[in-house]
Amino acid sequence: MTDETLLEAMDKMDKAVEHVQGQFSTVRTGRAAPALVERLTAEYYGAQVPIQQMASISVPEARMLMVKPHDRSSLGAIERAIRDSDLGVSPNNDGVVIRLNFPPLTEDRRREYVKVVKTMSEDGRIAVRNIRRDARKAMETAEKAGEISADELERAEKELEKITAEHVERIDAAFGRKEAELLEV
């Protein structure tokens, strides 16, 4: 019972850490990255479709993204989606591909992005702690029902604390890397 609960909690915590790291990739640094536009959707034949399914995204230069639609008729919709997004860049459409030139970040903008990433990492830590709380509650319920002993509960809670600390450290390490990347000029 406790091993299953611990494994389930560890799996959920792993997913929470992966989610936070995925969110970090959507925050713009000084370099262009395909993840910046992958989360955007454009209207394609009446449905909202992710841009990554409609086009190939490449990085020809450090500060440029190139979006080449598989279907040229979707070029305008992709351009509109990028223009309406919060990326802060204007797309250049040459009829075949869309080029996105990212200007260098100002110091103030970098600091704002660090705050955004810090908030994302705190949300991740909260998610991990919520998973810990739910697992602890499940184990305490099992102990009250007589399925596990008090000693087993204590051992499992120590193990759960260790797992939680490891996952919080992984989030903190990812935040540190992203912060260094953002502040790098």
Contact 163, 10 (CB under 8 A): yes
The confidence band for 63, taking pLDDT boundaries of 50, 70 and 90, is confident
Contact 68, 55 (CB under 8 A): yes
For residue 26, is pLDDT > 80? no
Looking up tokens 């992984």 gives 170
Can you list the pairs that 116-122 forms with residues at least 24 positions away whose Cβ atoms lie under 8 Å?
Answer: 116/27, 117/24, 117/27, 117/175, 117/178, 117/179, 117/182, 118/175, 118/179, 120/20, 120/23, 120/24, 120/27, 121/20, 121/24, 121/171, 121/172, 121/174, 121/175
> What is the average per-residue pLDDT within 48-55?
90
CA 86 remoteness from chain centre = 16
Amino acid at 73: S
Alpha carbons 180 and 23: distance in angstroms, whole number: 16
Length of the chain: 185
For residue 166, is pLDDT > 80? yes
* Average predicted confidence (pLDDT) for the chain: 89
Reading the block at residue 129, the tokens are 């702690």
Contact 89, 100 (CB under 8 A): yes
Alpha carbons 106 and 48: distance in angstroms, whole number: 33
Higher pLDDT, 131 or 64: 131
The confidence band for 185, taking pLDDT boundaries of 50, 70 and 90, is low
* pLDDT number for residue 118: 94
**Residue-range domains of the chain with CATH:** 2-25+106-183 (1.10.132.20), 35-101 (3.30.1360.40)
Q: pLDDT digit string (tens) for 70-94?
A: 988 889 899 888 888 877 778 888 8
* pLDDT number for residue 61: 86
For residue 129, is pLDDT > 90? yes
